[in-house]
Amino acid sequence: EARAKQLANDEREGRLLERDDVVLQVAEVVSMVRATLERMPNELESEIPANHRAQTVERLRDYVRLMLTRMSQHQFEWEKPTE
């Protein structure tokens, strides 16, 4: 009963966030991070000495792909099955 009252108070006072709103905002941030990471190798290419450029840019692309793969495999708490 105390928990229900606290939740009702929190809701009335605007201290709770709608789950769908949070999920949407997280998705927007993740999308922005992904786009930034994907652009990074090309944006840095001109700063890398010519004799190392091709190899370094390819390594950056590989690492970005690895990071994005790991991000895509992450399971948020709200996605995990409840017992």
The pLDDT value given to residue 29? 95
The pLDDT value given to residue 78? 75
Q: How far apart are CA 60 and CA 19, in angstroms?
A: 35
Mapped onto helix, strand or coil, the DSSP state of residue 69 is helix
The pLDDT value given to residue 33? 95
Place of tokens 């709200």: 78
Walking along the chain (83 residues) 10 residues at a time, the average pLDDT comes out as: 90 88 92 96 96 97 96 84 74
Contacts 24+ apart (CB under 8 A), 71-74: 71/30, 71/33, 71/34
pLDDT in tens, 41-61: 999 999 999 999 999 999 999
The pLDDT value given to residue 11? 86
Q: How far apart are CA 56 and CA 45, in angstroms?
A: 8
